[in-house]
Amino acid sequence: MKAKLLTVFLCLCMLASVSCGAPDAETTATPEQPSVTTPTASPPETPEQEDETTVPLETTAPETDAPPKIPFPTDHIGENSVGLVYIKTNSGTITGAKDVTVPRPDKSGRTLSAEGYLSPANSGDQNLRGFADLLAQIQSSYSTADPYTTLSIPSGTYRIKSYKQFAIHLKELHNLCIDGGGSLFLLEDSDRAIGSAALFGLEYCDTVEFRNFSIDFDWESYPLYVIGEVISADTETQSVTFHIDSHKLPSQVKIGGGRSWDPSIDNRSDTVGFIPYGSVKSSEVLDEHTLRVYYSAARSAKDARPGQQFQFYFQPNFKASAFRMLNNKNVTLDSITIYSAPYEAAWNAAGDGYHIVNCKVIPAEGRLFSTYTGFETHSVKGNVIVENCEMMGVLDDNIHLSNHFMGGENVKIDDYTVEMRHLQTFSFKHYFVEGTRLALYDKNHRPLGYSSVIESVTSLKEGVNDMATYTVRFRDPLPQAISPTDIFMTEDYYDGSFIIRNNRFSRGLCHALYLGLSNGTVENNTFDNFAYPSLILTTVTRWERWHIGGNVENVVIRGNTMTRCNTAGRDPASLAVVAGRDAQPTDFTPADGYVIRNVLVENNVVDGSTGSAFALFSAEDVFVRNNTFLNSNLLPTTKPRRVGWGNAYVSNARNITWENNEIHNEGHAYENGLYVDTATVLNFEEKE
């Protein structure tokens, strides 16, 4: 209590000083260049700017602006910084997310009970039909003066079996709360293959809340994710035989993928464990605990050794997410626990307003893994909030949150028409709607002065990685020339904030947060034991098929703790603010220009990284202060061009403030200290 009173007192004192006169301003000057080895490189292309003079730093909002009215105490984390950060930069301001909310249903209307429609004694088919009847009643109630606003489900375990894409399909429903009453929905496998599926499918709904229930898949009949240990290998048949003791195997399994496993770190590894080469040709279940896998490459069997371990993903017929949502407004998931799903915990696209709170994506007792992917969110229209959640044992990204740019290859066909090639349909098809406004930028995301709305669009599948070519006709004439490297971005798709705070992420086999969105605050989260970099803020063309991000700016990353990061040794660092291209499997090279701007990285702790703790490149107007980078570069640097680049590095950047950051290695490390690439970094100021 004394500490809180002291903080309030200090803030009031600071407020008094501001009201009596102009606030003290931090000014950015060009310091003497640090003594570092400078590689031969050309400076990045510098976007045109009328005035290169660095503006003073302001830590309080001007009187003409909305709150905050008090200085933000940069030496104290606090519980919530949203609405309290204001830093003026050369190219704009850093405020982070606005203090936003996502509206929830007004539950003052009638309540519909699921009793008599759903029952723990029912088969999966019967409960599925019961849900359909319930939703039909809710839909018909909208024509009355007193519609249903709550669907109440008695506590119990309800089996669900589906023969269609969405087991429980909510379409054009509004102002509805589905209260599970602590129930468990147990998803059974289908008798035929169904893709892009979900337990709950939402389309064109407005203000819907799911609360207080759990979701699991029936592992007794078909386990999803297991660890296999090599028993033997046969080079003649190119087969490897595995023992699996955690679960009984069904008579047949379909191997959807997997990774080499290192039990000493309880995570995947690219150097320890069984490493498959080529693809899986077939497999056979020899008994309930023995699996033989045949590979296309002889090296798989040749290099296999007894005792090596491998993490398997067995793909069921019903490759379903727990939730799959498209074109909805104001969706809330509150107190939902997802023990497992064959694919994502929740996939959401073209959504406006999305709140995930008090949710868990965690393995059930006796398991190591939960879902293949966590919360996957694309083509964002409005605000996104993820808070007070726990995620563990997710095979892919825990949270992916991004918009996208059309950066495959854009070819002008006539004065009004462009072919946009090599775009993955799942992330782009939502943009290509008549009336959507697109703007033209160069490869470094600088505006070229053209924007217009889509008049018509057609698509043609390319047959690789679910890619397509979109032929887009615009309402207004195009510029005389368009370079194939120019890009298009949506101008009217995203006008919101994102907040990711007070969450716990652990034992993930990929990234924890992969973010390509502006106007955000990421604070007070913990990350432990991740195979890939745990937090990346980025604009990137990844593996030549994902065009993630856009003009990413105005993001605050503060108060996060990351331990045991990047066990698989991936580019570019455990905590990264970067833009460019990332070639498969991992080779992240910077963009020429300054694509990411106006970012605050402060009061974070990164401890125990196999590679660098922090990376910053292709960015401008970034403040990195009061962070602690401990015990990084525990393994040799994987990229020769970055040998000697330290525990933290900055390249291809300008207007960077580096203040009061601690870098320390307690034992042996393959890199040490801070590296600044003086050939490509302009106006780097280091403060103590």
DSSP letter for each residue of 315-353: --SEEEEEEEEES-EEEEEEEEEE--EEEEEEEEES-EE
Q: How confident is the model at residue 682 (pLDDT cuts 50, 70, 90)?
A: very high
Determine which helix (DSSP H) or strand (DSSP E) holds 287, and give its type and residue range.
strand 280-287
- Residue 186: what pLDDT? 98
User: DSSP state, 544?
Assistant: T
Which has the closest alpha carbon to 548: 516, 514, 582, 518?
A: 516
Angle at 453 between CA 451 and CA 455, to 5 degrees: 140
Q: Are strands 239-243 and 290-295 parallel, antiparallel or unpaired?
A: antiparallel
Distance in angstroms (rounded) separating the CA atoms of residues 404 and 406: 7
Instruction: Check residue 78 and give its pLDDT.
Output: 63
Tokens of 47: 């976007």
User: Residue 136 contacts by C-beta under 8 Å, 6 or more apart in sequence?
Assistant: none
| Whole-number Å distance between alpha carbons of 653 and 626 | 20
- pLDDT higher for 611 or 78? 611
Say how many C-beta atoms besides its own lie within 10 A of residue 227's C-beta: 20
Cβ atoms of residues 595 and 578 within 8 Å: no
49-58, 296-305, 585-594, range with the lowest pLDDT = 49-58
Integer Cα distance of 512 and 522 in angstroms: 12
pTM for this entry: 0.89
Distance CA 522, CA 671 (A): 28
Separation of alpha carbons 642 and 637, rounded Å: 7
311: Cα within 13 Å, side-chain hemisphere = 24
Q: Report, as an integer, the average pLDDT of 674-680.
A: 97
DSSP type of residue 70: S
Beta bridge partners of 471: 419, 458
Q: Is the peptide bond before 23 cis (omega within 30 degrees of 0)?
A: no
Distance CA 295, CA 293 (A): 6
For the segment 85-110, the average pLDDT, to the nearest whole number, is 96
Q: How many CB atoms lie within 10 A of CB 462?
A: 16
Best CA proximity match to 400, nearest among 504, 310, 254, 535? 535
Cα–Cα nearest to 277, from 292, 256, 260: 260
Averaged pLDDT, 233-238: 97
Dist. CA 6–CA 196, nearest whole Å: 54
**Nearest of 670, 375, 387 to residue 525 by alpha carbon:** 387
- Terminal alpha carbon distance of the chain: 30
The least confident of 141-150, 343-352, 426-435, 516-525 is 426-435
**pLDDT class of 363 with cuts at 50, 70, 90:** very high
For residue 683, how far is the Cα from the chain centroid? Answer: 31
Tell me the three state secondary structure of residue 428: helix
Query: CA-to-CA distance for 464 and 472, rounded, in angstroms?
Result: 21
- Taking phi first (over 0 means left), then psi (-120 to 50 degrees means alpha), and beta for anything else, what does residue 660 get? left
Residue 650: its pLDDT value, please? 98
Asked if pLDDT for residue 46 goes beyond 70, the answer is no
Q: What average pLDDT does this structure show over 425-443?
A: 91
Distance CA 570, CA 566 (A): 6
Task: Tell me: cis bond preceding 533? Omega within 30 of 0 counts.
Answer: no
Structure tokens at 483: 């370079």
Query: Which comes out higher in pLDDT, residue 510 or 58?
Result: 510
pLDDT per position as a tens digit, 517-551: 999 999 999 999 999 999 999 999 998 889 999 88
Q: Which residues of 22-35 are buried (b: 16+ CB within 10 A; e: fewer)?
A: eeeeeebeeeeeee
Calculate the dihedral angle through the C-alpha atoms of 4, 8, 14, 18, rounding to the nearest 10 degrees. 150
**17: pLDDT strictly greater than 70:** no
Spatial separation of the C-alpha atoms in residues 423 and 459, rounded to whole Å: 10
Q: What six digits make up the tokens of 476? A: 């207004």
Confidence of residue 489 (pLDDT cuts 50, 70, 90): very high
Please report the sign of the dihedral spanned by the C-alpha atoms of residue 261, residue 643, residue 626, residue 623: negative
Q: Which of 53-67, 370-384, 434-448, 605-619 has the lowest mean pLDDT?
A: 53-67
CA 662/CA 560 separation, integer angstroms: 15
**Degrees, nearest 5: CA angle 64-70-75:** 135
Contact assessment for residue 403 and residue 550, using Cβ atoms and an 8 Å cutoff? yes
What's the rounded Cα separation, in Å, for the pair 495 and 380? 9
* 12-16, 306-310, 556-560, range with the lowest pLDDT: 12-16
* Average pLDDT estimate for 467-494: 93
- The answer to whether residue 70 scores a pLDDT higher than 50 is no
Instruction: Give backbone dihedrals phi and psi of 607, rounded to 5 degrees, phi first.
Output: -135, 120
Q: How far apart are CA 148 and CA 139, in angstroms?
A: 9
Yes or no: say if 353 and 329 are a contact pair by the CB < 8 Å rule. yes
Question: What pLDDT does 31 receive?
Answer: 32
> Considering the chain, what is the average pLDDT of its residues?
89
- For residue 584, what pLDDT is reported? 84
Share of the chain above pLDDT 70, in %: 89
Q: Distance between CA atoms of 672 and 659, rounded to whole angstroms? A: 18
